[in-house]
């Protein structure tokens, strides 16, 4: 597969180069050149296939031949080494649990897949690659865990000091080895801006190979399309019109769902469920796209003021506002509404959600008001105990910690504090010399 830059000022790239570079030389996001839908029979008989078989069929056009088929099979098996259960709350609403991986957030799949691809590409290379990544909460842990010990790759994570949950912080600051956590005096957007600046900085790029592990990287973004296929496999015999409500921040996950739709998966509609960071909700109302500084909420992984993948969504629907609107709705909720939803889900269904999942649930409820016949699946993007304080405060029930969380909670945090771009730059130059 060739990938082109959405800024249209760079030459096309193969998968390998797109993964290693992360972003095109003209700063555009890479996008696959021609997407070939999978056969009708694939979807008709999807329930006879294992998750790894589905993944191989769905992903191979994007990565083969740069990754040989046999290697892709191994990477998929290692990546998908946990479950993706769908839990039905009632006849209109289900939740897809995406928190059964090692860091208990959906980003594990993308991070594990990307780490293995990069590890494969870098296996004979003596030059190290530095993965530079900004996190609003969960990316850092998933990337750190996915890349831990991968040969030839150093990982540098920037996170906003005091603005990620305790468990999220532990997950990204306690691993050691090839992982370094930089604690930024600022908000997520400051971290993201520093990362973007580093990629443009010739003093750095002339000395080292920098790449991103945010969802702008195609190897992190594309495997997320599998969630939607697995859910379809699970629910197709029971429900005809399946709609997904995706708690969205950088819009990588919902955009991956749209790629599954491009591959032929019969998805009726998408809902981007947002907190008060509502650029896209406003855009769909007004057709005016106004990025703004992010505001802090209890669903912190979605505190994004300028969603990086929205440009890919526009591309999927050929920049046509009406087509986009026919496929995507967006709603935004306050923290108060989110907490009320967590309590409602607990009281009505005896089910515990994290704040992100609860925002997704609210998206389902709003969409169902106008479309009462569909079955809406909200993505539960993180395990509730990653947001222990809020969950226990809202449902007033102590939660027991899963083994993945217990494993990090008492480890000692190690981070390097920075408060300016120059400090990041100095760190990178020193670490690479």
Ligand X SMILES: *Cc1c(COP(=O)(O)O)cnc(C)c1O
Asked if 223 is part of the footprint of ligand X (rule: CB under 6 A), the reply reads no
Residues 247-276 that bind ligand X (CB under 6 A): 247-253
Region near ligand X per CB under 6 A, out of 4-12, 244-252, 259-267, 313-321:
244-252
Closest CA to 391 of 346, 334, 350: 346
CB of 47 to ligand X, least distance (A): 27
Residue nearest to ligand X (CB): 138
Residue 140 touching ligand X (CB under 6 A): no
Shortest distance in whole angstroms from residue 360 CB to ligand X: 8
**Which listed residue (103, 145, 234, 381) binds ligand X by CB under 6 A?**
381
Angstrom distance (rounded) from CA 154 to CA 216? 19
Give yes or no for residue 105 binding ligand X (CB under 6 A): yes
Nearer to ligand X, 111 or 208 (CB): 111
Which range touches ligand X (CB under 6 A), out of 65-73, 228-236, 245-253, 420-428?
245-253
Closest among 281, 331, 322, 321 to 305, alpha carbons compared? 281
By rule CB under 6 A, what string of x and - marks binding of each residue 347-366 to ligand X?
---------x----------
Work out the end-to-end distance of the chain between its first and last CA atoms, rounded to an integer number of angstroms.
Answer: 35
Q: What is the CA radius of gyration of the chain?
A: 20
Candidates 53, 51, 62, 169; CA nearest to 100 is 51
Q: Are strands 86-88 and 153-160 parallel, antiparallel or unpaired?
A: unpaired
Count the neighbouring beta carbons within 10 Å of the beta carbon of residue 263: 21
Among 172, 302, 364, 424, binds ligand X (CB under 6 A): 302
CB contact at 8 A, 314 and 340? no
- Characterize the bridge pairing of strands 3-5 and 30-32: antiparallel
215 binds ligand X (CB under 6 A): yes
Pairing of strands 328-332, 269-274: parallel
Binder among 382, 391, 395, 424 for ligand X (CB under 6 A): 382
* Contact footprint for ligand X (CB under 6 A): 105, 107, 137-138, 215, 247-253, 301-302, 356, 381-382
């Amino acid at each position: 597969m060739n990938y082109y830059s959405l800024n249209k000022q760079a030459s096309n790239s193969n998968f390998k180069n797109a993964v290693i570079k992360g972003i095109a030389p003209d700063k555009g996001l890479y996008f696959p050149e021609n997407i070939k839908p999978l056969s009708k029979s694939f979807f008709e008989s999807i329930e006879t296939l294992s998750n790894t078989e589905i993944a191989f069929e769905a992903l191979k056009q994007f990565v083969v031949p740069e990754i040989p088929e046999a290697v892709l099979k191994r990477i998929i098996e290692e990546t998908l080494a946990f479950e993706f259960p769908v839990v039905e709350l009632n006849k209109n609403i289900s939740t897809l649990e995406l928190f059964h991986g090692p860091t208990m957030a959906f980003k594990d799949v993308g991070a594990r897949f990307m780490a293995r691809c990069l590890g494969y590409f870098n296996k004979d290379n003596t030059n190290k690659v530095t993965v530079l990544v900004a996190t609003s909460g969960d990316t850092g842990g998933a990337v750190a865990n996915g890349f831990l010990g991968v040969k030839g790759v150093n990982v540098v994570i920037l996170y906003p000091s005091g603005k990620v949950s305790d468990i999220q912080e532990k997950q990204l600051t306690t691993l050691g080895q090839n992982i370094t956590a930089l604690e930024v005096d600022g908000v997520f957007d400051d971290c993201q801006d520093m990362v973007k600046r580093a990629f443009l900085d010739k003093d750095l790029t002339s000395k080292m190979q920098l790449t991103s592990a945010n969802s702008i990287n195609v190897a992190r973004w594309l495997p997320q399309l599998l969630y939607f296929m697995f859910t379809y496999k699970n629910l197709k015999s029971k429900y005809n019109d399946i709609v997904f409500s995706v708690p969205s921040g950088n819009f990588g996950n919902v955009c991956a769902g749209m790629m599954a739709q491009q591959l032929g998966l019969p998805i009726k509609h998408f809902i981007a469920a947002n907190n008060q960071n509502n650029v896209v909700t406003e855009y769909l109302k007004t057709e005016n796209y106004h990025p703004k500084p992010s505001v802090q909420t209890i669903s912190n992984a979605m505190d994004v003021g300028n969603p990086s993948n929205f440009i890919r969504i526009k591309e999927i629907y050929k920049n046509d506002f009406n087509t986009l609107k026919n496929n995507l709705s967006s709603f935004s909720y306050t923290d108060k509404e989110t907490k009320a939803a967590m309590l409602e889900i607990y009281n009505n269904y005896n089910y515990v959600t994290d704040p992100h999942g609860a925002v997704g649930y609210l998206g389902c409820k709003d969409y169902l008001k106008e479309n009462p016949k569909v079955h809406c699946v909200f993505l539960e993007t993180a395990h509730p105990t990653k947001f222990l304080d809020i969950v226990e405060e809202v449902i007033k029930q102590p939660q027991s910690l899963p083994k993945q969380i217990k494993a990090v909670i008492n480890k000692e945090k190690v981070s390097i504090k920075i408060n300016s771009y120059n400090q990041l730059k100095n760190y990178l130059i020193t670490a690479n010399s």
